[in-house]
Structure 1
Amino acid sequence: MTGVVIGADANAHHTIWGSSDINERGVEPTFIIAGRKEVLDITLTTENTDLEIKDWRVLDEHSFSDHRYIQFYINLQCPVEKPYRNYRSGAVALAHFDGSGVDEAVCAMVARVQELALGYPEGRIELQLIGGYKDPQSYGEDVFYSIMQSFHKHHLEIDLTQACVGDLNTIVRGDINFPIIYGVGVNINTGEIFPATFPERGPDRQLRDARIFMGAQTVLDVYDSSLGMLRIGPFNYDPLRGVDLWLSQTDEFILQHLSSSPDVEPPHFAMHMRATIKFIQENQFPAITVFRDNRPRYYRRDETTGYWTIVRY
């Protein structure tokens, strides 16, 4: 059964929701003006549904209104959601956004999902946004707003069905904000999305990281679904100035200057950044040293070992 949640300024007093006109029930008032406090703002939900209201409370922070903020959480009995996909065809597009090339990537994702959905009954397009925590520089918040704006102005109707970002993806440890979810996986058969960690980051990691480090402004489509293979490149970047100077710096210097969230990086961050910078030093023009014939590098996943192996295609 579909659940309904209603939040209302009732403008009526009744003991059912704690108004003071009939009796005083000790409920936290939601409406406060000079000399008067009332319970006017109520939250209603249907019974026997998959919705469960948890931790309903009135916040103490100033709302710049005579009504106070009400906060609650909706707990779903089946919290696993579907990723960005066409509901009928099951076509899935998964992307990592860091703030660059968002508009172009959104258009490319939607177009690709629509292309893969040809021949299937028309279905709604669902969007899930996972990641981005409450970092000190509000970087994650800026990226989130940029993504939302890009999808909002798209000409197709897209349903946002899940957004685990900001406060919802933040936990405090020792007065430092940490993300709760660092990565997700997707079951492409069912569309289920779940928290995941990835000890193996895929092939040509230094090559891919080098492209990002050098300021790539576009998001690449790296999976060829028609072939079932991972596709990297071809691409190029300009030489890095002062590469020797970067390699001579301490791990702490690299951490503080090359990370947007140095407090929450894994211990191997500096080591991986050094490897990336070293790769750039050795491959100043990857179009020549890596993509010699100007063709992509294809990889297929070995079902036995789980590793990606290069394919001459």
Structure 2
Amino acid sequence: MNMVTRVQELAMGYPSGRLELHLIGGFSDPHNYSEELFYNLLHAFHKQPVEIDLILACVGELNTTVRSGIHWPILYGVGINVKTGEIFPATFPDKGPEQSLRAARHLTGGQQVNIILDVYDCNLGLLRIGPFNYDPLRGVDLWLEQPDDFILQHLSTSPEVEPPHFVMQVRATLKYIQDHPFPAVTVFRDNRPHYFRRDEHTGMWTPFRY
């Protein structure tokens, strides 16, 4: 289960300013994947050269409810009012640009997949994807032939509690990997990142030349 991280700068003079950290997500899953992820995130922030204060941690048991003996996350996602600081439950039908490409990096165990990626420049208002490469996924044709339940059981860390769109997204990612086994060649031809900017009127992400 994913975790949502929010780091808010409260003082001028970054990187010497004070930062507040909010961690929301992850639950008490049977394999303790969320617990390992939580510790990895804390370790990554602890290594930063700036002072970071952990203000909120809604993770693990605090984000877990039990239904019919199965552990479920209470929150799958949150929204933040940047003007007031209010945090509220939210869902996001728009997953951002090039979702299958971004998911392919993780599904294939792409290079540096375990590092924390800084993909959005708030000063420029730009979202950056890549460039990166991943190893071809062996048997991708066979995976695409499998029924939905098989994909759910074998490609999810918590199949009992996945949202309804999970398998559809995985299939789209597998098809992308099938079409682009070497993204460094077919996707990032000039070895340049893909930049996107959000349109102020439509709210859609549009390609941007930077």
TM (norm. structure 1) is 0.60
Q: Verify: 1:83 aligned to 2:6, yes or no.
A: yes
Q: Could you say what secondary structure the match of 2:97 adopts? A: coil
Q: Does 1:261 align with 2:155?
A: no
Whole-angstrom CA distance in 1 between matches of 2:208 and 2:50? 37
What whole-Å deviation, never above 9, does each CA across 1:116-153 have from its counterpart, x for those lacking one?
A: x26xxx64222111111011111111211222234345
**Contact between 1:83 and 1:186, CA under 8 Å: does it hold in 2?**
no
Residue 95 of structure 2, aligned match among 196, 201, 204: 201
Residue 251 of structure 1 pairs with residue 152 of structure 2: no
Q: Which amino acid aligns with 2:122?
A: S
- Give 3-state SS (helix, strand or coil) of 2:207's partner: strand
Q: Partners of 2:10 and 2:73 in 1: how far apart?
A: 29
Are 2:209 and 1:306 aligned? no
CA–CA separation in structure 2 for the residues paired with 1:302 and 1:155: 34
Quote the sequence identity (%). Answer: 62
Q: CA RMSD in A?
A: 2.1
Determine the structure 1 residue equivalent to 2:179: 282
Structure 2 CA distance for partners of 1:231 and 1:196, relative to 1, 3 Å: same
* Aligned residue pair count: 203
Counting only pairs closer than 5 Å after superposition, residues 153-302 of structure 1 correspond to structure 2 as: 154=48, 156-189=50-83, 191-216=85-110, 217=113, 218-302=115-199
Summarize deviations over 1:141-183 as a string: whole Å, max 9, x none.
1211222234345554422111101111011222211111111
SS in 1 for 2:26: strand
Asked whether the equivalents of residues 27 and 73 of structure 2 are also in contact (C-alpha less than 8 Å), the reply is: yes
Deviation at 1:286, TM superposition (A): 0.8
**In the superposition, relative to structure 1, how do residues 134 and 163 fare at CA in structure 2: closer, same or farther (>3 Å)?**
same
Q: Point out which structure has higher relative CO (alpha carbons under 8 A, 6+ apart).
A: 2
- TM-score, L = length of structure 2: 0.87
Paired residue secondary structure (1:128): strand
Please, which runs of 5 or more residues in structure 1 have no aligned partner?
Answer: 1-81, 90-113
Which structure dedicates a bigger proportion of its chain to helix? Answer: 2
Residue identity in the other structure for 1:83: R
Which has the higher Rg, Structure 1 or Structure 2?
1
For the Cα contact (< 8 Å) 2:18–2:50, is it kept in 1?
A: no
**What SS does structure 2 have at the residue aligned with 1:274?**
helix
